[in-house]
Structure 1
Amino acid sequence: MPRLIYACTLLLVSLFLSSAPRAESLLLRDARVVDVENGAITRGDVLLRDGVIASLAPDAADAEAADNRLDLQGRYLIPGLWDMHVHFEGRELVEDNALLLPVYLAYGITGVREAASNLAGTVLQWRGEVADGERLGPRIFTAGRKFEGIDSLWDGDREVGTAAQIRAGMDEQQALGVDFIKITENTLQPELFLETVREARRRGLLVSSHVPLGLDIFELTGAGLSSIEHATYLLRLGHPGQAGIARAVRAGEMSAEQARAAYDDSFNQATADAAYRRLAAAGVAVTPTLIGGRKLAWLHETNHDDDAFLAYLTRDFTAQYQWRIERMAGETAAEREARQARYRLVAAQVPALQRAGVTLLAGSDSAALNTYVYPAAALHEELALFTEAGLSPLHALQAATINGARFMGLARDYGSVSAGRRADLVVLNRNPLADIRATADIHAVIRGGEVFDRARLDALLARAAARKQALDNTPRD
């Protein structure tokens, strides 16, 4: 009897194994694999299995057994790109934003960090639908609603005026499962701003923020800040009296206008460089978002009427650009020159931050409110601006791949072409380490092991353009 039981057990195990679905495998033939950590390029085959990179050098038997093959003919294989600062916003622009999600994939962007908006509930829903394969788009990491003070200027903020309201807001954010906390400085008072940072870190949450004039940047890092959004704030670190100016503003001894004038009076690069080393030691990342400033600084010299990306943006979406255009309509030549000089100074901080050891995150700040900062396309422009400012192509590529994955605590799954990582990949026709603009010269995108060749990518773009036309032709309430 025991032998009979043993034999039956073996039969059942055999039947189970033979009926279990075998993982789908794909062999990428003749790829030039770009190591985004050290800049090495290795030519060979890559085996994907069940949406994961199984091997960078599969043995002959595994290669031969692959279910499917894709010959890359020596093209360059990089990790999927992440835009680490975007916004999906506009209560009246839900479908206008939704049609752009597949466009991100068509531009090689397989992940986005959504830095809060007034569509928080919708974005959380999209995040789940993308994760479950019900909606096509990049993986979404979102802050939900951002924290602000009472009577904030912006729509949809989580307004807090007491420590108890901060805790209640954090409870709700955690219940929703947000990926990080975002704070801005419109009306949130300095002490409450610091307490919001502290509360987030007490709960083990990443926290990203702007910088109020009434706070010393190193007060924020001491409270546990994870990242500073927008490099414009860092110009304050080039002023030796930054901490004193912040104290004076907080005490009511200096107005915001006086503080800004004091910062504009002088900038010392050596002072800033020393401060950047302190930022690096504190582990604080920076998302420079150069492109918005670049677009505005040269707004009057640039004609955007024939921009190709407008094919995917509805009239209602681009109508949001007008408020900045109208605000800048009366700028004098001297004011434009000053704006351009300021942009150049901000851009020069990017390689300085890299030299100091600060983690750089590539983010576009694309949003309906940000004039001519086009979703998806803007990330590629941001990377080009990094290299124009003096950053190496490798460091620029790191800012859009491995740095973001590490920042989010997900480097074991994303950010590099390595065995065990998710198969979110981009195939480029040219070497991005020779010219970072090659990130926009895309042959194919692979998301979770699924291949989108050039024809499929073009079809995604064509559908987005058609959807844009349909929305433009549909009366809005």
Structure 2
Amino acid sequence: MPLLKLASPHPGSHPSLVSALCLALGLAAPLQAETLKLTHFQLVDVEQGRVLQDRQMLIEDGRIVRIVPATEVLVADSSRDLGGRYLMPSLWDMHVHFEGRELVEDNALLLPLYLAYGITAVREAASDLAPEVMVWRKQIAAGERVGPRIFSAGQKFEGIDSLWNGDLEVGDEAAMARGMDKLTAMGVDFIKITENTLQPELYLKTVAEARRRGYRVSSHIPYGVSVAEAANAGLSSIEHLSYVLRLGHQDEPEIAASVRSGTLEAKEAAARYRDGFQQPLADKGYRMLAAQGVAVTPTLIGGYQLANLDATDHSADGFLRYLTSAFTDKYSWRIERMGEQTPAQWQARKQKYQDEAAQLSRLDAAGVMLLAGSDSAALNTYVYPAEGLHSELQLWQQAGLSPARILRAATLDGARFMGLEKDYGSIAEGKRADLLLLRANPLADISATMQIEALIQGGEFHDRAQLDTWLGNAAAAVQILNTGRRGI
């Protein structure tokens, strides 16, 4: 089968290295899925939070045609006995980044790993690799590259001289409109906005303009904008739970107004938000978010990893075999920045994480849509691509959410947020056959999502041997890249 050519090498790269990397990855167009019957499995119903015993399924042209008890007769071109294992919808990671202009190959080799970890869709929340990501998205959709379906924001909106690489820096409405035109031409799936230097008034106008153009808008929230103002402007999702905690401060609207007027510095606003949290006020704010239809992507794993850097040795983490040295070198900036913290500061960071995690069940009780996302990226220390989502789900369970609620967030709610619940997110006749086969019941313990026996993507069955091949290819590609860059 034909191999896919990777992105053009950077200046100084060796053509032989890129060729070897292509061979190591072995990315090829998948075969057309045949009519397939799956028998003797336990169906995990994420809509109702229950298991349906001993079912069988017929898949044709990548869609689920029939689901019936095992006693009925179904005829298909081929059949697989699933041995009583648990069949659930495949996972969606609703916040990832592929980033680093010098890390194109390093990110590309990770794409099959998402499938190996049961993830068939990712929401890519903008990066400096937008041109490459858009190519990967097209190739995956065409069956020319192995990887998850990508929903991408392309480049995120920011203010002038922002901290981040590759964003769209805008200082006025005209520049913002040109940025919107550029993203529309790129064919982005949603709009992402962050708040490093973007002015509050322009932030609100950017949200409103994106919604006017029909986009979903995911965002951080500037200190000069209240959460209610962002919601009223048309925000679709808040990325990271820390922003939501501002709703628990009675002076939040006044603090935002003071920052916007220039009478209060952002650093002072942050200090004020650290004190005076009131749970009833926060709960009221959460109900406002639910009423406005604003989702929240908590991304607990990043805060957890940083809060526990003092007590965790990551040197033996198994996932490191899939990350190049150049990729993990990006972790050092946060490690070095935190290396001089006092014991009291470490404890304060741990408490901050606990305070945020405690709000997860409160958001759920208020009816807020929760989206499961890892925020995996080269700049996010020890938040591993693909594996990070599973870690995130386990943290949700530790925070008090039931496995049933967590599963819905990681499957159906992701599809609903993207407006694709008719085709994805649960197991039902007529839906696309993106499925995950597990050795244990995820409704009993969410960690069962790591006990993967097989993946079905678009009706094509990938057994454990195939998943392991993808993992092995990625590990081999890492060795090739590391060796080539050392000039050995």
1:205 corresponding residue in structure 2: 215
2:262 corresponding residue in structure 1: 252
| Superposition deviation, residue 59 in structure 1 | 9.8
| Superposition deviation, residue 254 in structure 1 | 1.2
**Is the partner of 1:475 in helix, strand or coil?**
helix
Equivalent position to 1:52, from 50, 63, 72: 63
Equivalent position to 2:179, from 169, 172, 182: 169
| Superposition deviation, residue 251 in structure 1 | 0.9
Aligned counterparts of 1:83 and 1:473: Cα–Cα separation in 2: 31
Equivalent position to 1:333, from 338, 343, 358: 343
2:316 corresponding residue in structure 1: 306
Larger Rg: 1
Matched, 1:409 2:419: yes
Q: Does structure 2 retain, via aligned residues, the 8 Å contact 1:34–1:42? A: yes
Structure 2 counterpart of 1:115, which letter? A
Structure 2 counterpart of 1:350, which letter? L
Post-superposition Cα deviations, 1:109-136, rounded to whole Å, max 9, x if no partner, equal 0000000000001000000000000000
Question: CA 1:312–1:279 in 2, change beyond 3 Å: closer, same or farther?
Answer: same
Post-superposition Cα deviations, 1:208-243, rounded to whole Å, max 9, x if no partner, equal 000100001110100000000000111111111111
**Is the partner of 2:358 in helix, strand or coil?**
helix
Q: Does structure 2 retain, via aligned residues, the 8 Å contact 1:48–1:423? A: yes
| Superposition deviation, residue 297 in structure 1 | 0.2
Matches within 5 A, 1:425-436: 425-436=435-446
**Is the partner of 1:474 in helix, strand or coil?**
helix
2:294 corresponding residue in structure 1: 284
Equivalent position to 1:240, from 239, 250, 264: 250
Q: Does structure 1 retain, via aligned residues, the 8 Å contact 2:158–2:170? A: yes
Aligned counterparts of 1:395 and 1:60: Cα–Cα separation in 2: 31
Aligned counterparts of 1:269 and 1:215: Cα–Cα separation in 2: 21
Question: CA 1:200–1:435 in 2, change beyond 3 Å: closer, same or farther?
Answer: same
1:190 corresponding residue in structure 2: 200
| Superposition deviation, residue 139 in structure 1 | 0.5
Structure 2 counterpart of 1:57, which letter? V
Structure 2 counterpart of 1:174, which letter? T
Matched, 1:458 2:458: no
**Is the partner of 1:57 in helix, strand or coil?**
strand
Q: Does structure 2 retain, via aligned residues, the 8 Å contact 1:364–1:382? A: yes
Q: Does structure 1 retain, via aligned residues, the 8 Å contact 2:119–2:386? A: yes
- Where do 4+ consecutive residues of structure 1 move more than 6 Å? 58-62
Aligned counterparts of 2:458 and 2:112: Cα–Cα separation in 1: 14
2:410 corresponding residue in structure 1: 400
Equivalent position to 2:450, from 416, 440, 443: 440
- Count of aligned pairs: 455
2:6 corresponding residue in structure 1: none
Q: Does structure 1 retain, via aligned residues, the 8 Å contact 2:57–2:64? A: yes
Q: Does structure 1 retain, via aligned residues, the 8 Å contact 2:140–2:146? A: yes
Structure 2 counterpart of 1:124, which letter? M
Structure 1 counterpart of 2:180, which letter? M
**Is the partner of 1:427 in helix, strand or coil?**
strand
Q: Does structure 1 retain, via aligned residues, the 8 Å contact 2:40–2:70? A: no
Structure 1 counterpart of 2:207, which letter? V
Report the more deviating stretch, 154-163 or 319-328.
154-163
Aligned counterparts of 2:50 and 2:299: Cα–Cα separation in 1: 27
2:236 corresponding residue in structure 1: 226
| Superposition deviation, residue 40 in structure 1 | 2.1
**Is the partner of 2:484 in helix, strand or coil?**
coil
Kindly report the root-mean-square deviation, in angstroms, between the aligned alpha carbons of the 2 structures. 1.4
Question: Percent identity between the aligned chains?
Answer: 60
Aligned counterparts of 2:297 and 2:316: Cα–Cα separation in 1: 29
Aligned counterparts of 1:431 and 1:72: Cα–Cα separation in 2: 14
Post-superposition Cα deviations, 1:10-66, rounded to whole Å, max 9, x if no partner, equal xxxxxxxxxxxx982111101111111111211210111111111112898971x20
Post-superposition Cα deviations, 1:80-139, rounded to whole Å, max 9, x if no partner, equal 100000000000000000010001100000000000000001000000000000000000
Structure 2 gaps of 5+ residues are 1-31
Post-superposition Cα deviations, 1:427-476, rounded to whole Å, max 9, x if no partner, equal 00100000000001001000011111011111110001000100000127
Equivalent position to 2:160, from 122, 142, 150: 150
**Is the partner of 2:310 in helix, strand or coil?**
helix
Q: Does structure 1 retain, via aligned residues, the 8 Å contact 2:33–2:460? A: no
Aligned counterparts of 1:390 and 1:243: Cα–Cα separation in 2: 30
| Superposition deviation, residue 151 in structure 1 | 1.2
How does the TM-score come out when normalised to structure 2? Answer: 0.92
Q: Does structure 1 retain, via aligned residues, the 8 Å contact 2:98–2:129? A: yes
Q: Does structure 1 retain, via aligned residues, the 8 Å contact 2:49–2:405? A: no
Aligned counterparts of 1:383 and 1:55: Cα–Cα separation in 2: 30
2:29 corresponding residue in structure 1: none
Aligned counterparts of 1:419 and 1:359: Cα–Cα separation in 2: 25
Q: Does structure 2 retain, via aligned residues, the 8 Å contact 1:47–1:58? A: no
Aligned counterparts of 1:228 and 1:343: Cα–Cα separation in 2: 18
Q: Does structure 1 retain, via aligned residues, the 8 Å contact 2:195–2:220? A: yes
Structure 1 gaps of 5+ residues are 1-21
Structure 2 counterpart of 1:423, which letter? A
Aligned counterparts of 2:205 and 2:40: Cα–Cα separation in 1: 53
Matched, 1:103 2:113: yes
2:434 corresponding residue in structure 1: 424
Aligned counterparts of 1:115 and 1:452: Cα–Cα separation in 2: 28
Equivalent position to 2:83, from 73, 77, 84: 73
Aligned counterparts of 1:37 and 1:110: Cα–Cα separation in 2: 19
Q: Does structure 2 retain, via aligned residues, the 8 Å contact 1:427–1:442? A: yes
**Is the partner of 2:344 in helix, strand or coil?**
helix
